[in-house]
Structure formats: structure tokens, C-alpha cells
Structure 1
Amino acid sequence: MDQELLSKKELLDLTGISYGQLYRWKRKNLIPDDWFIRKSTFTGQETFFPRERMLQRIEQIKNMKDDLSLDEMADVFSPNPSDISLSLDDVMERNIVTNVALDVYSGRNPGVNRLSFEQLVHLYVLDVALKTGEISVNEGPILLETLEEHYGAFEGRNCGLKFVRKLGTSLCVLYSIPGEVYFDSGTKTVFQVDLPQCIEELKVKLG
């Protein structure tokens, strides 16, 4: 199903921000270029946005702007920083994820004691999935394998993750955002998440 879109006029009316603020935040990379979607209407070309993600991002910016500069906020919303790493002990002590997620991760990656930011993203997404109760501990390694083998292919691009089941068989899929993935009617999506959202949440926890 197509994502629900929000027109520029609706966005400005709902959030109370100005046209100038919107495009200043765009120039500062607080809002991704690919969220500005040009579509033909009966009045000509108009700009639309992914409704849920855009409203959430505007709210985040409003909440952060008194404490952080635009450049600092841009770093929060940026792709994976290369200078962040944590030991497993640090992850545990700071309650970044649950012990269950740590156990699943360590079981798949024995001997790994320090995690890069990308590895922290894998672990955090696993934790989010397990917390829903829709994915079992035994299915966790499937999600990790998908991220470890294919997440790097999306460098510089936003991606989403779907976990689906059919006839007792589990499958994990990564896909580009914006983009849609379709399965036959017998396949059930049990977990879905946008990776950029997880990255932002993780950065706040690491903050």
C-alpha cells in the first residue's frame, strides 16, 4: 500500500512552521531530499511529504532546537557516524538494549566484544523487533544475518526492514525508502521498521 502523503500547505498549517524554515532545514540536511516528493495535480506540480515521518521529524526538530544548533541536529539525523563504538559491557551498563537482545547477538557473533556504530544499529533493530513480541528469540539470527550481509549495500541511502512469515517459514527483507515491497496474500508481515528512525533513536540513547 502506498504511504500516506501530506501536501506542503497541509504541513505548514499543521506544524505552524514557515516556508523559509522548511527549506532552511532541508538545506541543513535535517530533512532528507527524497522526502520532498513532486507530483502532478490539477493545478500543476506540487510538493508532498511522507506524512508520518515528516510530522515526526518536525516534532523532533522543534524539541531539539533550543538545545542544539542546526549543525548539531544535522549530525543527529546523519547516516552512521564512523567514530562511535562501544564495548558490550558499555552497552549493558548503559541499558542501550535488553539482555535478551545481547544474548542473541553474542550467540551469533561469539568473540565480538566491541561494536562499531553499524553493528550497534543491527543490535538495536534486533532489540526493537524482539520487544514487539512478534519475533521469537530463535528468529533473531535471521534478522541479524540480513542486516550483517546486506545493510552495507544501502550506504548513503535510507532503507526499511520487513520480517514476514508464510506457512511457518520466516523471511527478512531490506528495501529502499521510498519504496514498497509486495508479497502474496498468504504472507504476513509481523514486523516492519524504518532504519533511519532506529538510527535516530539509537543516537539519542548514545547521546
Structure 2
Amino acid sequence: MDPNVISKKELLELTGISYGQLYRWKRKNLIPEDWFIRRATFTGQETFFPREQILDRIDKIINMKDDLSLDELADVFSPNLAGTKLTFVELLERNIVSKTSLELFVHQQGESETYTFQQILYAYVLERLLVTGEMSLDEGAGLLKALVSHYPKLEGKPCELIFVRKMGISSFILVSSSTELYFDSGVKVVKRLNLAGCIEELKAKIS
């Protein structure tokens, strides 16, 4: 069994939620359609979910649903904040992104009067990897190129950023959350970052 997924039966038993609740949250867009993964098993077709993402999402829904309506929760979990624009100074003053990360972003992508939510997300992901010391500034430039080139193709879908290194050469991979990936023994997975989680963190900082 793939340790990165969890069956619907196990999910309901582990979280204590009902079948009805699960599918109501799906209809309300609290749980993305792409997280419902149909696979053939010896008993027939079964539904599985990306384990880490679904358990984290259900925990958040349970803890927040007493204070927010389902429609309000759907807005919290939506993949972007349309119309959001912040200046360089606002991003620094609100402690959303550090000066180092923001300057690297501007150096790579050019200066602008204001930055959109998507641009801020790129800078925030850059910050998340730089602050841990797992990624160099040169590698950060490569990360930004990968995000700018490929994230728009996956925007609106749950996806994951995978940072790998082989023989000192780094690469960045963007994949949908339900994708299984296998690497040869020479590849070191430096970091796996769930972008939906980054979006939720960023929205909380901006709001």
C-alpha cells in the first residue's frame, strides 16, 4: 500500500467524520475534486486521498467550522486572492517576505509598483526554502524560473513542489498532489512542499 495515500474507509474511521460530511465538504469546495483518487483494488474500485493533505484539511475544517460558515471556509481554502496587490514596502512591513527573498525575486523577475497574489506566492515559497538554509540563493533563482514557467499550468489544482539534488545539481519539480513519483538512489529529495498549504498560510498573513 502506498504510504502517501489513505483509503476513504480509513479516513472516516480515523477522523470520525461521516460519509455525508465528507461529500458535503466536497460539494462546498472545501475538499478539492482532485483529492478523490479512484483506484482498482482486489475488492473493486476504491477511493483514496493524499494522506497528509486530506488529514490536515479535515483537521482545519473541524477546528474552524464553529466560527465560520462552509461558504466562508471555502473562501479560506480557495487557491488565490483575486485582486490582491501589495507593494515592496508593504510586503516587508507586514513581515510576509524577508528583504533577502524579495530582493532576489525582484532581481529575477523585475521591479513592479505592486505585486499580485501569484507573484507574492512565488516570493513566499522562495522564503520558505531559503529561511531553512536548505537552498542557496543561486538555487532560489532556479526555483523562481520553475514556478513562473510551470505553476500557472497547475494553478487552481492541489500541487506539490519537490526540490531534489543529484551530484550537486538541483532541480525543482511541480506535480499534482495525487501523482506518485519514484527517484533513483542517486537523487536526494531535499524538500517536498505542499503549495496549497503555502497558499493558506499566505492568505492568513495577508488578510
> Normalization by structure 1: what TM-score?
0.90
Could you tell me which amino acid in structure 2 is paired with residue 123 of structure 1?
Answer: A
Percent identity over paired residues: 57
Q: CA 1:15–1:127 in structure 2 vs 1: closer, same or farther (change >3 Å)?
A: same
2:15: which partner in 1?
Answer: 15
Unaligned runs of 5+ in 1: none
Could you tell me which amino acid in structure 2 is paired with residue 83 of structure 1?
Answer: G
Q: CA 1:9–1:182 in structure 2 vs 1: closer, same or farther (change >3 Å)?
A: closer
Aligned pair count?
207
Could you tell me which amino acid in structure 1 is paired with residue 18 of structure 2?
Answer: S
Offset, 1:169:
1.8
Aligned partners of 1:178, 1:153: CA distance in 2, in Å? Answer: 16
Q: CA 1:57–1:134 in structure 2 vs 1: closer, same or farther (change >3 Å)?
A: same
**RMSD of aligned alpha carbons:** 1.9
Residue 187 in 1 paired to residue 187 in 2? yes
Unaligned runs of 5+ in 2: none
Offset, 1:3:
4.9
Residue 199 in 1 paired to residue 199 in 2? yes
Name the SS of the counterpart of 2:164 in structure 1: strand
Paired residues of 2:158 and 2:196 also in contact (CA < 8 A): yes
> Normalization by structure 2: what TM-score?
0.90
Aligned partners of 2:110, 2:156: CA distance in 1, in Å? Answer: 29
Question: 1:142-200 deviations in whole A, cap 9, x for unaligned?
Answer: 10111112211223323221222222222222222321344432222212212112111
Residue 70 in 1 paired to residue 79 in 2? no
Residue 157 in 1 paired to residue 157 in 2? yes
Aligned partners of 1:46, 1:143: CA distance in 2, in Å? Answer: 36
Aligned partners of 1:51, 1:174: CA distance in 2, in Å? Answer: 18
Structure with more relative contact order (C-alpha pairs < 8 Å, separation 6 or more)? 2
